[in-house]
Chain A
Amino acid sequence: MKKIINNKDRLVDDMLSGYIKANNDRVKFSNKSNRIILRSQPKDLNKTAVLIGNGSGHEPIAMGWVGEGLLDANIVGDIFAAPSGDLIFEGIQELKENSGCILLISNHAGDVMNGEMAIELAKEQNINADLLLMYDDIASAPRGSEDQRRGGAGTTFIYKILGALSEMGEKKDSLLGLGERVRDQTRTLSIAVASGVSPISGEKIFQLDDDEVFIGMGVHGESGYGRQKISSSKTIIKFMMDKIFDDYSYKEGDVVIPFINGSGATTLMELLIVYNDVEEYLAKYKIKCFKPLVNEYITTQESAGFSISLLNSNEQMRDLWIYPSSAPYFHL
């Protein structure tokens, strides 16, 4: 393993310490735990708070998205492991004075179990907290079983749009409703090009031959549509976009927000070539693109690959997408 770290057992804490020091004008640790990241300038208490707990090793998500106009808190687990329900509950308690609290949960087994436990603990304390389950990865379950799908990069649309709307003072129930609509109008498909190395085991997370790619692989190496030989961006994008179009009925005049997310070791050069081909594909169907996000945000160490996420948007979603945010690592 070739990573610049100090001590394996402390790498998450060392990273978080560096993150807070580097961004101390915008984020801080909770007084109770150095695994809970909060905004330096808390939201008004009459507004609903939005937070998430997730495993680390996927930076900059989600700690990098704590900030005004985005997340109020992030509870950080160990590498690729959801934080415990107890710790997520501590994070919720930090926001219990807010008029409401929404815990976002990306649909992965550990995240769901611990998130549900945290919400149960919150309800026992009469805290006005609810969860919103997020899923978008079309390779992980077929049409009709959408709620079985994994949470992928397209969950970003929910973070950003609910973060913005909650900042504007919208009530919890209508935030949850919009979150569900965003989720239902989002599709994501990913491709793995090369595996990253787990900083814990020191081993590659999955195996791919040098001339192979894997379409539909999840962020931890989970399977999807299978292996194929690497080909041009246009060929790969056509394959992936055809799958997305099979899954969701787009129509002429739709306006989508595209998110091309790199997995950790994909060059911006490649990501922009991919974006070019995605926009060209959409143009053939007379579908317009609005303010795309193209960069590495949800990573798995030095994995190479990317995902395409599309939100079929309405005007409200688009306005909220471009609403200002002070989060240190969200840049439209």
Chain B
Amino acid sequence: MHNAYKKWILNSYDRIKSDYVELDKLDQQVGDGDHGTTILKGMTIAKQSYLESLDSPLDEAMATISKQMRIEMGGASGILMSIFFDESGKVDELNLTQSIVDIFEKSIDKIMKRGKVKAGDKSILDIYVPVLNFLQKNVDFQFKKNEINDILSNSLEKTKAMEAQVGRAKFLEKKGLGFIDPGAKSTELILREYFAAVL
């Protein structure tokens, strides 16, 4: 899986690098305006750390990357977004589809506990949860890649109509209503690259 994961990490970095200014602008509407810069820092260290870990077992490499991202990004986004990277190291090539379902289940569980957040609160969970629901319904993974991309983009679009129940946006005059959640946006970009690389 190292080749697929290398492609995932490097492509995610490239994608965030080209979109981080847009993410910062989005975060100016609902946060303190630096989500793009923060996630770029996270993906920069992820890329660097991954390239140094090519000889390590995948689970060890991803655990290291996750910790580095958490330290480099800090804040709520660092601790929550790094969870998927850690869990993703448990992928099993011989049992690929079920292991990916497990990765999503465990990531969601950890994000809910750590962030005291649930689906519909306008957060990164509003990407992970619909993806998990889709995967569970299609556990044979006999779907086209564009179907998962549609799930990702539709889920992201839905965060626009949500009022934030968590994080800084919860305290805004309109609770971020009308804007997509910046963390959901970067998560969508990263998961798009994940499925493009591993499926």
Q: Does B55 contact A (CB under 8 A)?
A: no
The residue from A77, A79, A82, A223 contacting B172, defined by CB atoms under 8 A apart: A223
CB distance A82 to B75 under 8 Å? yes
Which one of B29-37, B91-99, B185-193 is at the interface?
A: B29-37
Asked if B24 and A77 sit within 8 Å, CB to CB, the answer is: no
Q: Is there contact, CB below 8 Å, between B71 and A86?
A: yes
- Count contacts on A: residues with CB < 8 A to the other chain: 33
Q: Which residue of A lies closest to B175 (CB)?
A: A223
In the assembled complex, the Cα of A83 lies from the Cα of B77 at a distance in Å of 11
Q: Which residues of B18-53 have CB atoms within 8 Å of chain A's CB atoms?
A: 24, 28, 31-34, 37-38
Supply 18 further A-B pairs (C-beta < 8 A) apart from A80-B75, A110-B76.
A78-B74, A78-B75, A80-B32, A81-B38, A81-B73, A81-B74, A109-B167, A113-B114, A117-B79, A117-B114, A200-B33, A200-B37, A201-B34, A201-B37, A203-B28, A220-B31, A220-B168, A221-B172
In the bound complex, residues from chain A placing their C-beta under 8 Å from that of B74 are 55, 77-78, 81-84, 87, 110, 114
Closest chain A residue, CB of each to CB of B72: A84
* A222–B78 alpha-carbon span in the complex (Å): 21
A218 CB within 8 Å of chain B: yes
Contact, CB under 8 Å: B71 / A226? no
A positions within 8 Å CB-CB of B: 55, 77-87, 108-110, 113-114, 116-117, 140, 150, 198, 200-201, 203, 205, 218, 220-224, 226
Q: Give the nearest-CB partner of A227 in chain B.
A: B173
Q: Top 9 closest A-B pairs, CB basis? A: A222-B171, A81-B75, A110-B76, A201-B33, A110-B75, A81-B74, A223-B173, A200-B34, A84-B71
CB-CB under 8 A from B168, the residues of chain A are 108-109, 218, 220, 222
**B158 close to chain A: CB less than 8 A:** no
What total of A-B pairs shows CB separation below 8 Å?
92
Output the least CB separation between B78 and chain A (Å): 6
Interface string of B53-76 (1 = CB under 8 A from A): 000000000000001001101111
Could you show 7 A-B contacts with beta carbons less than 8 Å apart?
Answer: A55-B75, A77-B75, A79-B34, A85-B70, A85-B79, A200-B34, A201-B28
> Which residues of the other chain, A, contact B78 by a CB distance below 8 angstroms?
81, 84, 110, 114
Min CB–CB distance A32 → chain B (angstroms): 13
List, in ascending order, chain B residues with CB within 8 A of A81's CB.
34, 38, 73-75, 77-78
Contact of B173 with A226 in the complex, beta carbons under 8 Å = yes
CB neighbours (8 Å) of A77 from chain B are 74-75
**Are the CB atoms of A113 and B76 closer together than 8 Å?**
yes
Determine the residue in chain B with the shortest Cβ distance to A113.
Answer: B79
